[in-house]
Structure 1
Amino acid sequence: MRITDYGQLPSCFITATDTDAGKTHVSCEIVRAWQQQGYSVAAFKPIATGAISHKGQRVSEDALKLAAVTGQTAGEINPYLYDKPASPHIADINQSFALADCLKQFKQLHQQVDRVLVEGVGGWCVPLSDTLMLKDLAIAIGLPVVMVSRIGLGCINHSLLTFHQIQRDCHLWYGWIANIKDPDYADIDSNIGAIEQRMTSGTVKT
């Protein structure tokens, strides 16, 4: 299902076809739509890489953007921040990701508001440590999974591969969002149509 009405989404986990697909942009739009519906909201980006300096503090640029919408602090949104802009499992060898602590923080946040948006890092199979991938975090959190697809050259392949992998890994698939970063791209409609058609008619073989 392609999602166009963000306000009707439940609390969800946002993943993407790849890095720079536009997860944070879409996440901010979803949170704004929830606010317009009258919901109390919060964002949670458990892991971020590529820290920046903001007012003398190390922060995630993505978390800052989310905080500007939700009213939280960047630190409340993003507990695990690594300096190097790389896959989390190599971004900081001196800081390890603790899944149990992350889940505890999520559950506390989930109890305080009507809607929580959890934003992943990179794509569905990005390693978080030597033993964990992003998909393990998403499955442990248990929210409906929404995929952001950057519409452009290569998006059909990336979208379908991610869609089928999510379906193989869990039963949390909810739908996908087409993020049009370049409105002048000539094949927007045909690419979106190709993805929709193949998601609807395709089956997952196990």
Structure 2
Amino acid sequence: MKAAWFVCGTDTGVGKTLVTGALMHAAIAQGYSTVGLKPLAAGCELTAEGWRNEDALHLQACANVELSYDQINPVALPEAVAPHLAAGTRILSAERIAAYCRGTLMQPVDQVFIEGAGGWRVPLNAREAFSEVPRLLNLPIIMVVGMRLGCLNHALLTAEAIARDGLRLAGWVANQLDPEMPRFEENLESLIQRLRAPLLGVVPWMSAADSQHAAQHLDLSLLLSSNAR
């Protein structure tokens, strides 16, 4: 079954890479060939092979199909700030980033998970937000909700923006960022009642992020049965 998904977050630092890797591990466990893409990464280190991003390397390691680093992360920006700032004098283009993704989507791979950058409306250039990329690709969205104070507002506004852009929220994952979050269960239930998409799982707080362990807390059946692509 060929399918592709765009993984967005309700903010930066909410665990998009952890969850994207977990989704990949869960898909692989069900027998699917799987890759993860980080088409734009801001925050890279210069190595002998060129600029490398920790999150993109993580997705490369999680995959069971071999892709070159440049296929996984075609746009690597050194500074860990918003893309339009990290780009400096370089002009980023949603269409070009989408074109990079289309090249990989043509590969014979069952499941492709494309991780976004920052939150839904993070600027890409003077006119476009990064959200234009999944719109151009017409992909269903998986939203990662960072469970901490303020998550209700961030999650609901992100879901509204996704719908306003004409895209479908295929599912969401609750990632517990704060082990002592007040009324965690009540906040989770508030989101379940308000988000019109299935909860794919609750990733518990972990002192060290581990996508393989996080995969054990996800149920992909609700996602894959929709055959959204």
TM-score range for the pair, normalised by the shorter chain length: 0.7 to 0.9
CA contact (8 A) 2:71 2:100 kept: no
State whether structure 2 residue 128 is matched by structure 1 residue 146. Answer: no
Which letter maps to 2:56?
A
Q: What is the match of residue 133 of structure 1?
A: 129
State whether structure 2 residue 4 is matched by structure 1 residue 11. Answer: yes
Identity of aligned residues (%): 34
1:90 alignment partner, one of 72, 85, 93: 85
Which letter maps to 2:95?
A
Q: Secondary structure of 2:170's match?
A: strand
Count of matched residue pairs = 193
CA contact (8 A) 1:50 1:83 kept: yes
2:113 alignment partner, one of 110, 114, 117: 117
Q: Which moved more, 1:70-79 or 1:151-160?
A: 70-79
- Between structures 1 and 2, the one with greater helix share: 1
Q: What is the match of residue 3 of structure 1?
A: none
- Measure, in 2, the Cα distance between the counterparts of 1:180 and 1:9: 30
CA contact (8 A) 2:5 2:140 kept: yes
Q: What is the match of residue 74 of structure 1?
A: 69
Q: What is the match of residue 199 of structure 1?
A: 195
CA contact (8 A) 1:97 1:129 kept: yes
User: How far did residue 52 of structure 1 move?
Assistant: 2.0
Q: Secondary structure of 2:117's match?
A: coil
- Measure, in 1, the Cα distance between the counterparts of 2:178 and 2:3: 28
CA contact (8 A) 1:152 1:187 kept: no
CA contact (8 A) 1:64 1:73 kept: no
- Measure, in 2, the Cα distance between the counterparts of 1:75 and 1:180: 31
User: How far did residue 197 of structure 1 move?
Assistant: 1.3
- Measure, in 2, the Cα distance between the counterparts of 1:100 and 1:159: 26
2:154 alignment partner, one of 127, 152, 158: 158
Q: What is the match of residue 36 of structure 1?
A: 29
User: How far did residue 56 of structure 1 move?
Assistant: 5.9
Q: What is the match of residue 108 of structure 1?
A: 103
2:13 alignment partner, one of 17, 20, 32: 20
TM-score, structure 1 normalization? 0.86
1:17-53 per-residue CA deviation (whole Å, 9 max, x = no partner) reads: 1000100000000011111111111111111111124
Q: Which runs of 5+ in 1 are unaligned?
A: 1-7, 201-206
- Measure, in 2, the Cα distance between the counterparts of 1:56 and 1:109: 21
User: How far did residue 106 of structure 1 move?
Assistant: 1.6
1:139-194 per-residue CA deviation (whole Å, 9 max, x = no partner) reads: 00111011100001111111111111111121322121101123343422111111
User: How far did residue 9 of structure 1 move?
Assistant: 11
State whether structure 2 residue 176 is matched by structure 1 residue 176. Answer: no
TM-score, structure 2 normalization? 0.78
Q: What is the match of residue 203 of structure 1?
A: none
Q: Secondary structure of 1:139's match?
A: helix
- Measure, in 2, the Cα distance between the counterparts of 1:110 and 1:72: 12
Q: Secondary structure of 1:20's match?
A: coil
